[in-house]
Amino acid sequence: MDPDLVLLLNGIVSGLLLGGLYAAAATGLAVSFGMLDIVNIAHPALMVMGAFSVVLIGTALGLDPLLVAVLQAPLFYLLGILIYGVYHHFFEKRGEEALQGLAFFFGVMFIIEVGLVMAFGPEQRFLDPPYAFITWRIGEIDLPLRMLAPALLALAALGALHLYLKRSFTGLAVAAVAQDAEALRLMAVNPVRIKRLAFGLSVALASIAGGALVVVQPVDPSSGQIFIGRVFAICIMGGMASLPGCLTAALLFGVVENVTATFYGPSWSPAVAFGWLLLVLAFRPQGLFGRMA
Amino acid sequence: MSAALQATDPAPLLRAEKVGKRFGGFVALAEVDLVLRPGERLGLIGPNGSGKSTFVNCISGDFAQHDGSVTLAGAKLDGLKPHARARRGLARTFQLPQPFGSLTVLENVRVPLLFGGHAAEATERAMACLEQVELAAKATKLPRELTQVEQRRLELARAIALHPQLLIADEAMAGLSHAEVDQILALLLRLNAAGTAVIMIEHIMRAVTEFSERLIVFVAGRKIADGAPREVLAMPEVEGAYLGKQ
Amino acid sequence: MSAAGERGVEAAVGLGAPRAAPKLLAPSPHHALFWLGAVLLGAALVVGLRLIGNEYGYFAGYFILQYIVLSSAWNILGGYAGYVNFGAAGFMAAGAYTAIALRKAFGLDLLPGIVAAGFVTGLLGLGTGYLTLRLRGVFFSIATLCLAVVLQTLIVNWDYVGGSRGAYIVRPREVPPFVSYGEYMFVVMLMLAILAVGISRTVELSRLGRGLQAIRDNERAAEAVGVPTLRLKLIATTLCGVLMGVAGAPLPYYSGYLNPEAAFSLAYAVNAIAMPLIGGAGSWLGPVIGAVLLGGLQQAATVTISSALNLWIVGWMLVIFVALFPRGIIGWFRRRA
């Protein structure tokens, strides 16, 4: 086969795997930003925090990083509940989300990033499970387990969230809370409780995405900065509150970014994220698939 | 009935032709035609969700895109932003008062004057507007210190400051007491006597019938009646679609 | 010692321009009085520092003045109009690297470099605003959040200005009328600070400022009463960009060496937001108070604690202040008064 074509095919496949990971990172945001209308710009920072805690716990106990990512998720759920509690009490309730609330999440993001630098230093961290060095081959296409396993975990988490939102009563209430908090009140459902729960879930999802991330590539405290562009671009492109839209956008994004990196060098990938974000905001703010946001 | 009105009217103030708005597949407003004379007092009624506010937002420019076309005093408004329409003499109030919360009552009224070509004498003119709505004594208060009816009057003062040819009062009396409704009615009548045409959107039937010289009715995004209030209210379809449900 | 001097600036500037009756009947602006007071104060600072004769005074003074420019710039958009710009580090670095690139290409000196930097970052602000400001405000904020990352990518990949290795600017030992290079840099930044505060104050008291406040309070109502909201927001983003770039342009001249890591330092991003919000966003004096207070504190603290811990404390202060004192120090005093 033409070597360029092989390169392209491999770029597409690993782009899809990368996209699966991005999907997990972005769906948490689709819940908080898309459904709850909470502009959690600390989302990528929480993800990096999840990655660091996976490295810490995984190394200490000798456990598989993906397993740790799942096991620690409840802790991050609690952290999310705590953050939402503060946000709701001081900003949402007073109607000061726009300026002060945004500054609050910026502060949280900043505290996490600098806190990680102080605790672990600015160096990159990684944790390689044994299978990280195995690569399956199908014809001329490489399927490195280093990318396949995290992508599968990410997709499983996504699927579970999707089922939860579609099938359970509370899940349906989450989807409704942004559109009609009053109707929920009439159904004797406390919208604040629903939002707290959903925000906790979004942070738990961020931590799982972080755990998956650390298998794919080394992570440093400032990794979150590059992910801000990625996850917001994907979330907006996917139509803000739609999980299938988010997944599609993430896969597409992963492919474009990875193919760009293959042919032009990886140092340009942040530019891809930002370029997409600007293009989406300028020309299709309602997303590729969604209705008007 | 509306066709007859259009034909006999030589120089309309507002002309809406086939104005419509869809949200996805849902038709919120379907091809509404309306012609308004200068200085006319028009009432617009209809059940909730009948397209009244959608119509107002099409006219005021709050929707960037809609079907059909709107003309004010002979000039096309299509594609103009709300602020450009406001400067051409189209003022509106909101269902819920929307004051500038951190600015005093006086500053609230100065804002339209500052951007409407009266920057030099904005304070004097703003005070005059406040006197018209009897809020001059509260000029230095913040909006949240006002009563509900005072907030409604502030909203009207801000609209008056635009020197409108047409004022759209979108439920400007909702939630007010009988006496307060009378206050606002008197205010609107005075404004109208000075030459401003008024479109009143209102659920308080007493106010609409007392105020309007012409009444139109929206049901499910369509205009189903247009004419003298007494005749319109007597029409069986109006009674069935609207009043019956009240 | 310089921090004390700076606190003097703010107190005297406050005297020069009374804001005792905010938003009552149209305040008389006293523009001439303000500029006279500011210039006199600046002169007093220069004389005072020369009498003290310690280079560290100029260093600390420059540090604080640079943040006065940066936070005043942020306040024009964030405080008056309520639109949050997270990209202060990006704009600052864009200004600094404009100065470096122009020096390499045409041998331009500091002062023309500052003008050019303002031009470039003004366009950057305008462009970002033009693409995102028709949407809800948060989309603009998100775009500015990513802007710094992308600009850093560009600079790291741009070998002409040194790439990731950084760039050197040979500093002259002396600039004639000044006793030292430190004093020269201090005076340059002092002028920029006076200019920035003056512009921010003029905006606040002008029609533009009223329009921006109306946008912050209720954008839809502002449009409905004839305020051209998009145009005002674009003017504010451009002004904000210009002043942030201007604050960054002297940076390579000040330190003699600049690399992307230092130019895009997180410190700029967080301080540009924390200082106005802690001082009191929405009034021109707020960012000045915030910059003097927080800048002075950080300057004093670097002697005893690490710079990371220093920044961490700023992050916590930001979170705590916006939660407990959403109107900042100024708002707190006004409410008690």
CB B13 within 8 A of CB B166: yes
| Run of H or E residues at B167 | strand B166-170
Q: Which domain holds residue B110?
A: 96-163
pLDDT at B9: 53
Please tell me the distance from the alpha carbon of residue B26 to that of residue B28, in angstroms, as a whole number: 6
Helix C266-279 with C285-301: angle, nearest 10 deg: 130
Whether residues B62 and B147 fall in one domain: no
CB B154 within 8 A of CB B145: no
Question: Measured between alpha carbons, how far apart are the two ends of chain C, in Å?
Answer: 29
| Run of H or E residues at C201 | helix C181-205
From chain B residues 129-188, the ones with a CB under 8 A of any chain C CB are 139-140, 158-159, 161-162
CB within 8 Å: C24 and B140: yes
Please tell me the distance from the alpha carbon of residue C289 to that of residue C300, in angstroms, as a whole number: 16
Which residue type does C297 have? L
Coil vs helix vs strand at B15: strand
Is 3.40.50 the CATH classification of the domain at C2-336?
A: no
Q: Specify the pairing of strand B14-23 against strand B197-201.
A: unpaired
Residues B116-137: tens digit of each pLDDT = 888 888 999 999 999 999 999 9
Residues B179-199: tens digit of each pLDDT = 999 999 999 999 999 999 999
Q: Which residue of B has its CA nearest to C221?
A: B98
Greatest mean pLDDT among A230-239, C60-69, C142-151 lies in C60-69
Whether residues B197 and B139 fall in one domain: no
pLDDT at C72: 97
C-chain residues near B99 (CB < 8 A): 217-218, 221
CB C282 within 8 A of CB C82: no
Count: domains in chain B: 2
List the alpha helices (DSSP H) in A168-242: 169-177, 181-186, 191-216, 223-237
- B110: tokens are 């100065």
Cα angle at C246 between C241 and C250, to 5 degrees?
A: 145
Which residue type does C288 have? V
Average pLDDT over residues C134-163: 86
- A69: tokens are 């990512």
Which residue type does C320 have? I
B3: pLDDT confidence band, cut at 50, 70 and 90?
very low
CB within 8 Å: C25 and B123: yes
Write down the mean pLDDT value for chain C: 87
Å between B127 CA and nearest CA of chain C:
10
Write down the mean pLDDT value for chain A: 86
- Which candidate, C312, C207, C265, places its Cα nearest to that of C70? C265
Q: Specify the pairing of strand B67-72 against strand B14-23.
A: antiparallel
Of B100, B102, B115, nearest to C226 by CB-CB distance is B115
CB within 8 Å: C25 and B82: no
- Residue C97: left if φ>0, alpha if ψ -120 to 50, beta else—which one? alpha
Note whether A77 contacts C: Cβ–Cβ < 8 A: no
Residues C158-173: tens digit of each pLDDT = 888 888 888 888 887 7
Confidence check: pLDDT of C73 > 90: yes
Half-sphere exposure for C294 (CA within 13 Å, toward CB): 36
Note whether A114 contacts C: Cβ–Cβ < 8 A: yes
Instruction: Give A266's DSSP letter.
Output: G
Of A32-36, A259-263, C81-85, the poorest mean pLDDT is in A259-263
Q: What are the structural domains of chain A?
A: 3-283 (1.10.3470)
Question: Judging by beta carbons within 10 Å of its beta carbon (0-12, 13-18, 19+), is residue B17 exposed, middle or buried?
Answer: middle
Confidence check: pLDDT of C112 > 90: yes
Confidence check: pLDDT of A97 > 80: no
Confidence check: pLDDT of B26 > 70: yes
Whether residues B68 and B158 fall in one domain: no
Å between A187 CA and nearest CA of chain C:
31
CB A196 within 8 A of CB A81: yes
Domain map (residue ranges) of chain C: 2-336
CB B191 within 8 A of CB B167: yes
CA C300 to chain centroid, in Å, comes to 20
C179: pLDDT confidence band, cut at 50, 70 and 90?
confident
Half-sphere exposure for B212 (CA within 13 Å, toward CB): 29
- Which candidate, A130, A33, A128, places its Cα nearest to that of A25? A33
pLDDT at A289: 60
Å between A176 CA and nearest CA of chain C:
21
pLDDT at B8: 52
Whether residues B231 and B110 fall in one domain: no
| Run of H or E residues at B166 | strand B166-170
C27: pLDDT confidence band, cut at 50, 70 and 90?
low
Whether residues B173 and B239 fall in one domain: yes
pLDDT at C21: 36
Confidence check: pLDDT of B99 > 60: yes
- C176: tokens are 């004639």
CB C118 within 8 A of CB C326: no
Mutate to test the interface with B, among C225, C231, C232 (most CBs of B within 10 A): C225
Please tell me the distance from the alpha carbon of residue A81 to that of residue C15, in angstroms, as a whole number: 47
* Prediction ipTM score: 0.88
| Bridge partners for B75 per DSSP | B72
Mutate to test the interface with A, among C83, C84, C134 (most CBs of A within 10 A): C84
C11: pLDDT confidence band, cut at 50, 70 and 90?
very low
Whether residues B199 and B221 fall in one domain: yes
Please tell me the distance from the alpha carbon of residue C173 to that of residue C149, in angstroms, as a whole number: 35
Whether residues B19 and B126 fall in one domain: no
pLDDT at B242: 62
Residues C220-232: tens digit of each pLDDT = 999 999 999 999 9
DSSP B74-140: TEE-TT--HHHHHHTTEEEE-SS----TTS-HHHHHHHHHHTTT--TTHHHHHHHHHHHTT-GGGTT
Domain boundary among B163, B181, B206: B163
Rounded to 10 degrees, the C-alpha dihedral A196/A199/A200/A204 comes to: 170
Residues 6+ apart with CB under 8 A from A234: A22, A23, A25, A26, A246, A249, A250, A253
Of A5-9, A185-189, C254-258, the poorest mean pLDDT is in A185-189
